[in-house]
């Protein structure tokens, strides 16, 4: 195509489970998983090619209130990003025509976002937050400038942000990115 080519794939908000609050008398379990896949491909001849793949927010479990279980429980969240941007151009001269591929941007990825309320287990509790990211950017320019970027803003297994996580006797807390 003898013109500028632009491809943008955006996923604004991917949440596995969104809680306002959770209370269970004896035992309770909440698990949330989200996978955000964004792919952008742009190809041009004699002009610019721009491909951008962005996920603004991906969260396995987000809670806007408290999470309370009387005896024992489990709270787990997994957020995965799969992002790819590919741009190709055959230009007239480097600096005149450009091939740009961008993955990422301003995304925030949380396995568990429990920063707005306390989490309490009466006796035992298991809390697991996991994030994964597979991100690729590829830019090819023939007689053109090429730029490929992967930007990772934040990946957090468990976000407590000043909140309290408490258990009576024993707990297992695992966070990984």
Cα(53)–Cα(39) distance, integer angstroms: 6
Confidence of residue 140 (pLDDT cuts 50, 70, 90): very high
Cα(98)–Cα(53) distance, integer angstroms: 17
Residue 93 reports pLDDT greater than 90: no
Cα(126)–Cα(119) distance, integer angstroms: 11
Cα(71)–Cα(62) distance, integer angstroms: 22
Q: What is the pLDDT of residue 160?
A: 86
Mind listing the pLDDT tens digit for each residue in 25-40?
A: 888 889 999 998 999 9
């Amino acid at each position: 195509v003898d013109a500028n080519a632009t491809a943008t794939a955006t996923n604004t908000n991917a949440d596995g489970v969104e809680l306002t609050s959770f209370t269970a008398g004896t035992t309770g379990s909440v698990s949330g998983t989200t996978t955000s896949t964004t792919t952008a491909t742009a190809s041009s001849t004699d002009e610019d090619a721009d491909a951008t793949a962005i996920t603004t927010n991906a969260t396995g479990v987000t809670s806007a209130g408290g999470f309370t279980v009387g005896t024992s429980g489990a709270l787990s969240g997994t957020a995965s990003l799969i992002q790819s941007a590919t741009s190709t151009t055959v230009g007239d001269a480097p600096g005149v025509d450009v091939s740009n591929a961008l993955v990422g941007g301003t995304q925030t990825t949380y396995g568990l976002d429990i920063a707005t309320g306390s989490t309490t287990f009466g006796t035992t509790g298991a809390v697991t937050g996991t994030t994964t990211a597979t991100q690729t950017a590829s830019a090819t320019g023939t007689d053109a400038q090429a730029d490929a970027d992967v930007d990772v803003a934040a990946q957090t297994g468990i976000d407590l942000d000043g909140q309290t996580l408490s258990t009576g006797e024993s707990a297992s807390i695992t966070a990984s990115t």
